[in-house]
A and B are shown apart, each in its own frame.
Chain A
Amino acid sequence: MIPRVAVIDYGMGNLHSVASALQHAGAAEVVVSHEPQVILEADRVVFPGVGGIRDCMEAIGRLGCDQLLDQVLNVDRKPVLAICVGMQALMSHSEENGGVACLDLLPGEVAFFGDAQQSDRGERLKVPHMGWNVVRPVMGHHLWRGIEPGTRFYFVHSYHVVPDDQAVIAGTFDYGLTGCAAIAQENLFATQFHPEKSHTAGLTLLKNFLDWDGTCL
């Protein structure tokens, strides 16, 4: 069965790219919405996000997307893909915008890179971490299928997630520190990078999401 995907739209930025990339990857139907009935009818759900975390959390709360996500993830147990700020919003708390409480669906912090990041060769590393970096899968997972070692994905962020439970980290990147590039926990997969902007590697990951059964086995 070709899946129907709902992209949760809480009014923060452009979701056109995510929707087109999912369609390109083979989704039968992509709906962009914050209406609970529309999202609850979909086979799987994408939770994107761009912009500042304070505005994102405000919009998520105002539109009731917090309860909706909890329902989708923990009650209906649909496969969910969270992207970038969407991933960050799932954590407990973010340092951005002076400190913001997040959804706490994944225990952990969202931390600033700091202004003094250096590579192992002593080069100054700029913030935001913007561009194509190597993602190292550290767990076998359906969403990594067909992704060769050394593959680069597109990142753009100044804050990175630090989950309390290291065992949920599915992939890492190096940028002065070893950061969490992806999280996998049961029916949730989350990426700090943007698969919808990562060319063929990103489309491969999205295609994998579309035929994923929502387990971490």
Chain B
Amino acid sequence: MALAKRVIPCLDVDLGRVVKGVNFVGIRDAGDPVEIARRYNEEGADEITFLDITASHEERDTTVHTVEQIAGEVFIPLTVGGGIRSLQDIRTMLNAGADKVSINTAAIHEPELVRDAAARFGSQCIVVAIDVKQVSVPGDAPRYELFTHGGRKPTGIEAVGWAIKMAALGAGELLLTSMDRDGTRDGFDLVITRAITNAVNIPVIASGGVGTLQHLVDGVTEGGADAVLAASIFHFGEYTLGEAKAFMADQGITVRR
């Protein structure tokens, strides 16, 4: 008996509303995060990820309040990311009821934050989010680098080496998002997903591009991911979590039913 592969709906939250765009533009309103989290919990989500995509300091109180509300009635693990820059930010989110926090840009500017956070709060609650784009041209060996600011700003940092470094610093899990695929519904970038799942010995969540249930399956079987994350296929009622898991189980993947 193995661990079930996890299916994680993601709430991208802006000013207290769940939104989802295509390549982070063309944002569409999908509703109240607490209500949506409750629905996903009832449908059998294995975890919920909450990404605060505005994450300006003025709105931080709204986010904390929403996290408190979700944690008060949804009894599955909750990861919160977006604008996490310090040990104090992590403590605030954990105290609000998050089980894990996702660190993204701050890990790039200050890798020691990952080490310090893991030492202080335990690796189990430190997720490092890695947003990547392919930078190699077709025909060359694939190379992926980290991008920040919703995929607009290059960093020059190579993705696989970065993943290994984050794991060594104490990250308990990696949330890998292909910014090329995010919002496109073309499926995960399986090349970088496989490269990173092979390279580290911590769980990897595949993210970015899910448009069909087969994409979820591919993320596990071809990408080697421990968990698959999707947003829009669940938000707009195309599929329920239950349908997604039934489809995965039919393809021979162990899921929690």
Interface residues of A (CB under 8 A from B): 13-14, 16-17, 20-21, 24, 50-52, 55, 115, 119, 121, 123-124, 126-134, 152, 154, 156-158, 174-175, 196-199, 202-203
Contact = CB atoms under 8 A, between A and B. Distances in A.
A127 B226 CA distance: 12
Given A157-B124, A175-B3, A128 B202 contact: yes
Nearest to B77: A197
A134 B3 CA distance: 8
Interface of A is mostly: mixed
Contact of A14 (B75, B97, B173): B97
A17 B97 contact: yes
Interface string B1-20: 11110100000000000000
B34 to A, nearest CB: 13
Contacts of B120: 51, 55
Interface stretch (B23-31, B66-74, B138-146, B154-162): B66-74
Contacts of A174: 1
Given A16-B68, A127-B201, A130-B173, A197 B76 contact: yes
B4 A152 contact: yes
B122 A14 contact: no
A133 B122 contact: no
Contacts, number: 104
Given A14-B94, A126-B203, A131 B75 contact: no
B125 interface: yes
Closest 3 CB pairs of A and B: A51-B122, A131-B3, A132-B4
B210 interface: no
Contact of B71 (A16, A51, A119, A132): A16
13 contacts: A14-B95, A14-B96, A14-B99, A16-B68, A16-B95, A51-B120, A119-B2, A130-B3, A131-B46, A132-B256, A152-B4, A158-B123, A203-B75
Contact of A131 (B6, B96, B97): B6
Contacts of A131: 3-4, 6, 46, 203, 226-227
Contacts of B6: 131-132
A47 B46 CA distance: 25
B75 A24 contact: yes
A121 B163 CA distance: 26
Contact of A126 (B44, B71, B76, B226): B226
A143 B226 CA distance: 30
A151 B14 CA distance: 36
B41 interface: yes
A49 B44 CA distance: 26
